[in-house]
Structure 1
Amino acid sequence: MTPSERSAFQTAFMTWYDENRRDLPWRQNQEPYRVWLSEIMLQQTQVQTVIPYYERFLATFPTVADLAAAPEDLLMKTWEGLGYYSRARNLQKAARQIVDDYDGHWPTTAAELEKLAGIGPYTAGAIASICFGEVVPAIDGNAFRVFSRLLKIDADITDPKNRKIFYDAILPLIPEDRPGDFNQAVMDFGSQICTAKNPTIGDTALAPFFRSYQDGTLLDYPVKTKKAKQKPVAMFAVVIRSQNGVLFQKRPSTGLLANLSTYPLVAAETLQADDDELLTPEEQLARIEAHFQEAYGLKLQQLHESGLKPVVHVFTHLKWTITILQAQLAADAELAFFPGQWYTEAQLVDVALPTVQKKIMARLATD
């Protein structure tokens, strides 16, 4: 854009924002802790879903120091239902960095903010611009969509190295006196007007600035390679009961569902001696029994399929299809080698459960 075009775009864009900005809780008080929390929660989650979680989280942990000192079980329970639980763990890691390494004071630049756990270039740019007035882009999916269409940038947005192309294109467009508002305008315009499938740019005063709108190529942008399909994974959830309740396993500290509690989950592929081996249902059950005996010293009784429809749960790169099994275990069984414990229904109220576990429990409730 020429200097005059850039000035006209900035005026039109900020006017649109002033007239159409969303009234969101984290915009009422733009203290960095609140802005940071909202940005992390909004990753992979829609605004309307986030709002009640955001308000409950702040009520539980009002300050960054409260979050830093929070017990992990309470943190996970408060986050329960938002998924992608590594976000919550990184929140606490970053909170502890701020308290321990920065003496409770927030870094004020995007470069320094990126040193905190779980904060990447987008979140750093958002916090730095909104809270501290740094002239820096906050480049997320909305920004890629808006500016690829505005300037007809045909760089593949799935290629990380092309982020710099967008950074360099957006930076001159940010008004020095309103960098935070500009980045929030991009969020709102991208989610409300410049949407992926049904953009309504033609209904706004910004239409003349969008080069792809002017030549009818709007939906050709952004350019991106197709996502790989989720890998299908067959899983078994083993519902083990005794007079003590139901046995839950705490997941490992790394990987999917890290540190969360679920019914014991067994991947079907771990039961096979080689990739080409086909097991009958009876052989699968026998090997699951053997797995529990060898790994945990637990002798399952009456292991059988529940007969319920399998539960399907999709992660970013994986698609789990979970067959529900049921079994009994002696109440006095030794759990010394098992990473979990018995829970009664009443006790489960205070346990952080991932969405996939809730799906399995819901399926059982239909039995």
Structure 2
Amino acid sequence: MTTKKIDQQYSTGWIMLLALFTALGPLSIDMYLPAFLQMAHDFNVSPQMVSNSLPAYFLGLALGQLIYGPLSDRIGRKTPLYFGMAVFALASLLCAFATDVWFLIGARLLQALGGCVGVVIARAAIRDRLDVQGSAQAFSSMMIVMGIAPVMAPIFGAWVLYFFDWQAVFILLMLIGIFCLVCVHFFFTETLPVERRLKLSIRQVGLLYQTILKDKSFRLPMLAGCLTGGALFCYISSASAVFMGVFAMDQQHFAYAFAFNAVGIMFLSSINKRISQRVGIKQRLQMGGLIQFTGAVIVLLCAFATSASLWVVMFGLFMAVAGIGFTGPNAMALAMSQQGARAGTASALMGSVQFSSGLLGGLMLNFMPWNALLNMGILMVLFTLLGLTAIFTIARQQ
């Protein structure tokens, strides 16, 4: 299939709309990271306690997607978007009024239960309309656009904190949620016609999840994408402690350092799209896995060094994070390629497992006894090594 034919399957505006919905996740995760120290002071708890709101958010993302996936396969893609965006906006307002860390954690859980609808519907909508090669390009295009979110989110958060208190960050997220709700109403067109919808009971949903998990064409790419993506969540959970704790950065410099690594995802996503006609999808998946693993090893070696160099650590993190520009879209396209009308359920299952990896990584960080840099390096190597194993298993298959 030629590039021209693939490009005709979707418009740039459609991809930007789906990217906006998907970007709620990274915006909600990254925008308040520079505020951890300020929030810890206001709540009279440690920064690590505030950081537990990240695993709570990952839990909400994991649970919510399991609901929205089969629901969207049954009633269509648009109605769940209405509900999820409304819940996200309300929960963001509740976060702004949090009076203690436990209230914040509960509100963040609710915020994730609403915001996760975007990523489920975006994946399913792409699968509704495109074939596997077109999906790979569409996911790459979406990651390029969506990559703006983790780049700009901590910078926006840092600048908001420069003028206002941390509560303003969540007010801004509420306004973004309302804007997304308006976009759903006026610009999103239903992609799953009534005749293709699945009539699913609760029992049938459970059986459908089991059927999808038994499908090797889904299971292995899912594991590859989720495990390599787990390295990103380890980075997100540890970034404040590493940059602001180990390397003593202030809020603004932390935001720029965090954004620099996020730029790598956009860069490699762009390359992935450009070479898609010349390099096979499995080869690109392998390239991404090797880049991520190499970067994670560099970070781990720096953690063992007597005096860790910030620039070497940044280089390793750049590779470990940027490699997702190859692993993410290609693993997603392979996993979704055979799912047909159950794409919403399959998308939800993949997203749930992915954010469960983030939840697991965040919880493990609470119990690891070493310094923040070493803890992050160990977990990133573990996740990328497991992901690379899944990738090479895929490559051996015909």
For normalisation by structure 2, the TM-score amounts to: 0.22
Which structure: greater helix fraction? 2
Q: Which structure: greater strand fraction?
A: 1
- With CA pairs under 8 Å and 6+ residues apart, which has the higher RCO, 1 or 2? 2
TM norm structure 1: 0.24
